Amino acid sequence: MSPLDTVLVVLCSVAGFTLQGAVGFGMGILGSPLLLLIDSRFVPGPILASTMVFTGLLTLRERHAVDLNGVRWLIAGRFAGTIPAAAVLAVLPAEQLSLVFGAMVLLAVAISVSGLQVEPRPAALLAGGALSGLMGTIAAVGGPPLALLYQHAPGARVRGTLSSVFLVGTVMSLTALVLVGRFGPDELSLSLTLLPGVVVGFFLSRRIASRLDQGYTRRAVLSVAAVAGLIVVGRYFAASGL
């Protein structure tokens, strides 16, 4: 990468991890489409690896608010979704996957805005975890399904619970990527360029999180998801010349 590309990568990671630390997710849906424009190798491996480090820090910070019962069901679902995702990686082109998951994000936002209530019960948690595992492993965008389940929860609970699931889930996803040959020395090197964003984003998000907790967490979650979904879908049609 050129020096300019490196600077842009750091700025994207700072923005993404600051958002994730404040809302509970964001590096995947905000960082993935932006980093894809710089170097496609960033998705999904390096984003997942750096997210693993960040979510470890965030889980410690918000450990008092974690929904432990929900985490158990979500991790079980995440495991179930990670296994087929490894197979899908070898079948569908990345461009088509971007369109599919961008559309899923927009659908999730539309369902939420419509007033439909999705309670974080065992069946919903399993399904949301499985979808998160599938999307996270393939495109590093595993946050929206989980955020939809916890959209009415306090900000600290959203951040703590999602980070706990992401911490375990990224380990699963990275293991799957290694097994199918999609994470090696090159991806590990790219992961290191995202670490400055991990550190800066973690400290910046403390200030922003306190503001979002004053009744704005749900709005922030849905806004970020909608914008990211539009970016991913727009990229697909732009690349296809449609």
What are the boundaries of each domain within the chain?
3-240
* Whole-number Å distance between alpha carbons of 97 and 49: 20
Q: Angle CA(173)–CA(11)–CA(162) in degrees, nearest 5?
A: 35
224: confidence class by pLDDT, cuts 50, 70, 90: confident
Could you tell me the pTM of the whole model? 0.84
Between 48 and 43, the higher pLDDT residue:
48
Mean pLDDT on 81-101: 78
Mean pLDDT on 25-49: 83
Spatial CA neighbour of 135 closest among 145, 149, 147, 121: 145
Does 58 score more than 90 pLDDT? yes
Query: Cβ–Cβ contacts within 10 Å for residue 87, how many?
Result: 10
